[in-house]
Structure 1
Amino acid sequence: MFGFNDKKKDRAVPQQVVAHDGAGDAAHPIDNNKNFWHALFPIVACGAGLFSDGYVNNVIGSVSPIFAKLYGAEWTDSNAKHYVSDIAFAGTVVGMLIFGYTSDHWSRTGSLLVSTIILIIFTALAAASYWHGETIGMFNILTAWRFFVGIGIGGEYPAGSVACAESTGEMKSGTRNAWFILFTNSMIDWGFVFGAFVPYIVAAACHNDHLETMWRTPLGIGVVFPLVLFVLRLKLKEPEEFSRESMKNTKTPYWLVLRYYGFRLFVISAVWFLYDFGSPRRSQFSSYSFSLYSSTIVASIYGGEGPFTTVFGWNTVIMLFYIPGTMLGAPVSDRLGPRWTLIVGVTAQSIVGFIMAGCYAKLAQPSVVGAFAVVYGLFLSFGELGPGNNIGLLASKTCATGVRGQYYGIAAAVGKIGAFVGTWVFPYIQAAGGDDVAKQNQYPFYVSSSLCLLSAALVYFLVPEIGQDTITKEDADFRTHLESKGWDVRQLGLKKGESADTLENNTAPMPCDKDQAFASKEAPSR
């Protein structure tokens, strides 16, 4: 429908893989001589930074009950109750758009390093927030620092995820989707788990006392991972696809890009919006909202009287249900393809959500909190198997390399706006339940599950399959599109100081069989 490659897998070729689409059009040969660990390193270094996204966003939700107990009405009656948690979303949107542009027009690795530095500095400042001993002033400064933390996180999406996707082309065909998922969405999910577990450890060490230490320490620990990752990223090189196909040293023909990718971007963005707006964490209607409020939900089961170690402990158990969904779902995306995996996962999530809504009054009791955690956890797990794992795949592999950072950044920003809206809508949906506590917590699941079905329908009717070599084929198809509109494709991959006028005309058709591909191994890529 949108010009994607068909379902056929590429053939493995000794030493070098030649990527073909279903019609037999040849693409650039891919060098597969690299050692496995050498090929894996850029995938890890580029994608794993999303761990910080999961950790930073979940840890603030985890420690929010501490704010309520420590600061009382100064917290519960202030706007800070919303702003401290939500402001990072706004910063993330800004970061996605800024670094989406710089990752295309400057450098993938440079953008990653800058975003990591921002994340390290402002995560540390957030943990140390202080304002002349005034509580409200401290909340305000914490909010400001978390906005900049969001900008750092935002850079991880367009710069890190697209570089990760481009690097997976050097892995064995039939495993590329799994490697991308394991070091992007799975990293977010592990960040969510640690964002719940670290507050539990700190609360246990503090014996549920020393409340200020209990909230500052988990926030400060968020510095450790990006600091380690920064060291790894110093060794990164630009992905080969980016070096060959980028538009960083030429004027991007945005009108031609919009005509070719505009509707596709709209569809991907809409699915991502529903995903982040609607189910746990980032899955369809208020995913992030569900995670931010999961500690509150668990605390409500105990009537708000449970010790923090108990609340954080059950929150950790719930977060752990993300892990089987994303880890087991990673190879499924290679077997079924991202499209069908997303549809199956989101439909199963919807079914579990309706069950949870219908049985919530019975499940939300301290005596059956284990059953509550299992059902809610399944809801989370199916969301990760489906949209959690695959929406990023769709966004990173359905656009040409020259504009992939901006394309991904816009789609992810729209999704994050959905998450931001969800955090504000969630309380109103609860309020529709009136004074009935059970209905207050049932209604969000009814809405979320309904929107899961809407997402499944959109994906089924509007999103085609993507294959193992979709990135390579997209570059070839986009070149053809640009040529058909009279744009000089020799400008793709230009190095600094080069000009298309100074290059030899090497835009001859690429080889269309294996022998020709090997013969052209030393030929220029443009």
Structure 2
Amino acid sequence: MSLQERIKSVSLIFACGTALFSDGYANGVIGSVNTLLKRVYGAKVLAAHNYSTVLSSVAFAGTIVGMLVFGYLSDKIGRKFGMMTATVIVALFSGLSAASSGAHGNVQGLLQMLSAMRFFVGIGVGAEYPCGSVSASEQSEEPGIGKKAQHRWFALATNTMIDFGFVVAAFVPLVLFWIFGEHHLRAVWRLALGLGMVPALLVLFWRLNMDEPERYKKDSMKNARVPYLLIMKRYWVRFAAISFTWFLYDFITYPFGIYSSTVVDNITGSTDSLTVVFGWNVVINLFYMPGTLVGAFILDYLGPKYSMITGLLLQAIIGFFMSGFYVQLTKHVAGFAVLYGIFLSFGELGPGNNLGLLASKSGPTAVRGQFYGLAAAIGKVGAFVGTWAFPPMIDAFGGPESVRGNTGPFWVGSGLAILSALVTFFFIHPLTQDGMEKEDCAFREYLEANGYDTSQMGLGEDTIVNEAVAEKLSVGEKV
């Protein structure tokens, strides 16, 4: 196979997965936007109806809706339909978030509209998981992808994009603050949200000429009855294990990412300088990148299961260390930030890179969107719960002014990381190269052994032939 064909195969994986950048950006930027809203409208206004937590968590609620609805649509209508719709939703409601306003300049009305728009952005972001990620996983086993690079390209096109979104989400408010200054913070928060439109629109054009993945064409149940009871009987253990570990991972990761600016605010003595707070926020978020990048390159050698366990155990060790030496570390802000970043980085090397891979390749093509969407939705419930639990957790340990209050979340997070590693070891199956094709063959045999007519699976020969003819005609017209 030529180099050009291999590049085309890899680019298709990225066309499917890159829109997950919007997930990282949308969820990461709201932490800085919350800080700005407090400066502009006053902390009391945001505290009146707990708007800070609402804005941080409402996108997760929308994401859950998007994952569940589009998980079904991805399987029954098509991957491309879901991906195109998702990008339009993200672009539209990112713009409307930036334009939020209340009647007659009412601040509460503005915050209510912003909360509603964030919910709809979440739906678009959620749709990307069972549509974009699932398509990326199916493209990763195409002939143009090397056997020892299938897992790597998937991780780079999905989780690395999410983490890069977190980094950019931390950096953009800082740059905007440098441009507009202390007296134009309204422009800073509105533009920070509105710029979320740009990546979504770019990916929309990239996806226009895409086709459905070959695995979907061959083994989907788009035109067939889905035997859910048979599917659950075969896959419920691995599904439950993946969903549980995803819940724990998001419970740990998203609150720590969103509240990183709050943590930095505490360790820097609640400085009034937004440059300092946002600057340290950028430093911390940058640590997502080495975790996901290094993790991607060891994936095809250790395998997703053992890569995940390695990341979780290393994350737990760092978390316990930070808890035990918190007092000493707060006297050296740079050291604290570096260790905090390493804590997040190991999370990306482990479950960050591997949960999506396990969810997309542990089930059959016929219900891959629903399997992935439901598992990811359970994970996002963890993120939703975590954003609400994080502040009360600090209070329960003694409050943000105490050492115990600030170390409590690290004790909890590290303990949950060890629990996730144990569940992964005992209940999650290792993945192999070309595993989806093997799983689909085993799934067909299982269905046939239980009296299901597998001849109705796939898009049908006529559909595939027509698509091939259309593609040849398109090429002929170009020539």
With structure 1 as the length reference, what TM-score do the two structures score?
0.85
1:111: which partner in 2? 82
State the Cα RMSD in Å: 1.5
1:29-40 equivalences in 2 (<5 Å): 35-40=5-10
1:415-426 equivalences in 2 (<5 Å): 415-426=379-390
1:486-501 equivalences in 2 (<5 Å): 486-495=451-460
What code does the residue aligned with 1:336 have? L
1:134 aligns with 2:113: no
2:92: which partner in 1? 121
Return the alpha-carbon distance in structure 1 between the equivalents of residues 293 and 409 of structure 2. 27
1:205: which partner in 2? 179
TM superposition shift of 1:59: 0.2
1:143: which partner in 2? 115
What code does the residue aligned with 1:476 have? C
1:12-23 equivalences in 2 (<5 Å): none
2:391: which partner in 1? 427
1:341-378 CA distance string (max 9 Å, x none)? 1111110000000011111122224xx21101111011
What code does the residue aligned with 2:408 have? Y
Residue pair 2:268, 2:333 contacting (<8 A) in 1 also: no
Residue pair 2:16, 2:133 contacting (<8 A) in 1 also: yes
1:389 aligns with 2:371: no
1:461 aligns with 2:426: yes
> Which of these residues, 316, 326, 336, is aligned with residue 302 of structure 2?
336
1:350: which partner in 2? 316
> Which of these residues, 32, 54, 61, is aligned with residue 90 of structure 1?
61
1:68-87 equivalences in 2 (<5 Å): 68-72=38-42, 73-87=44-58
1:295 aligns with 2:261: yes
What code does the residue aligned with 2:285 have? M
1:6: which partner in 2? none
What code does the residue aligned with 2:171 have? F
Return the alpha-carbon distance in structure 2 between the equivalents of residues 493 and 267 of structure 1. 28
Higher percent of residues as helix: 2
1:152-171 equivalences in 2 (<5 Å): 152-170=124-142, 171=145
Return the alpha-carbon distance in structure 1 between the equivalents of residues 195 and 28 of structure 2. 13
TM superposition shift of 1:438: 2.0
Structure 1 residue runs without a partner (length 5+): 1-14, 16-31, 279-286, 499-526
What code does the residue aligned with 2:57 have? D
1:245: which partner in 2? 219
Residue pair 2:237, 2:427 contacting (<8 A) in 1 also: no
Return the alpha-carbon distance in structure 2 between the equivalents of residues 206 and 272 of structure 1. 39
1:371: which partner in 2? 335
Return the alpha-carbon distance in structure 2 between the equivalents of residues 94 and 130 of structure 1. 25
2:288: which partner in 1? 322
> Kindly, what percent of the aligned residue pairs are identical?
48
1:516: which partner in 2? none
Residue pair 1:75, 1:81 contacting (<8 A) in 2 also: yes
* Runs of 4+ with deviation above 6 angstroms: none
What code does the residue aligned with 2:410 have? F
TM superposition shift of 1:332: 0.6
What code does the residue aligned with 2:385 have? V
Return the alpha-carbon distance in structure 2 between the equivalents of residues 349 and 401 of structure 1. 33
Which structure's CA Rg is the greater one?
A: 1
Residue pair 1:249, 1:496 contacting (<8 A) in 2 also: no
1:485 aligns with 2:455: no
CA gap 1:489/1:203 in 2 versus in 1, 3 angstroms: same
1:26: which partner in 2? none
Return the alpha-carbon distance in structure 1 between the equivalents of residues 381 and 407 of structure 2. 24
1:53 aligns with 2:17: no
What code does the residue aligned with 1:347 have? L
1:41: which partner in 2? 11
Return the alpha-carbon distance in structure 2 between the equivalents of residues 35 and 159 of structure 1. 24
Return the alpha-carbon distance in structure 2 between the equivalents of residues 494 and 60 of structure 1. 41
Residue pair 1:339, 1:466 contacting (<8 A) in 2 also: yes
1:407: which partner in 2? 371
Residue pair 1:341, 1:386 contacting (<8 A) in 2 also: yes
TM superposition shift of 1:427: 1.2
Structure 2 residue runs without a partner (length 5+): 464-479
1:227-250 CA distance string (max 9 Å, x none)? 100000101110000011110011
Return the alpha-carbon distance in structure 2 between the equivalents of residues 378 and 461 of structure 1. 26
Q: Secondary structure at the match of 1:210?
A: helix
With structure 2 as the length reference, what TM-score do the two structures score?
0.93
Residue pair 2:305, 2:429 contacting (<8 A) in 1 also: yes
Q: Secondary structure at the match of 1:120?
A: helix
Return the alpha-carbon distance in structure 2 between the equivalents of residues 464 and 482 of structure 1. 21
What code does the residue aligned with 2:158 have? T
What code does the residue aligned with 1:391 have? L
Return the alpha-carbon distance in structure 2 between the equivalents of residues 431 and 346 of structure 1. 26
1:207-259 CA distance string (max 9 Å, x none)? 23311111111101111000100000101110000011110011111111111
Residue pair 1:208, 1:309 contacting (<8 A) in 2 also: no
What code does the residue aligned with 1:297 have? V
Return the alpha-carbon distance in structure 2 between the equivalents of residues 78 and 305 of structure 1. 25
What code does the residue aligned with 2:291 have? G
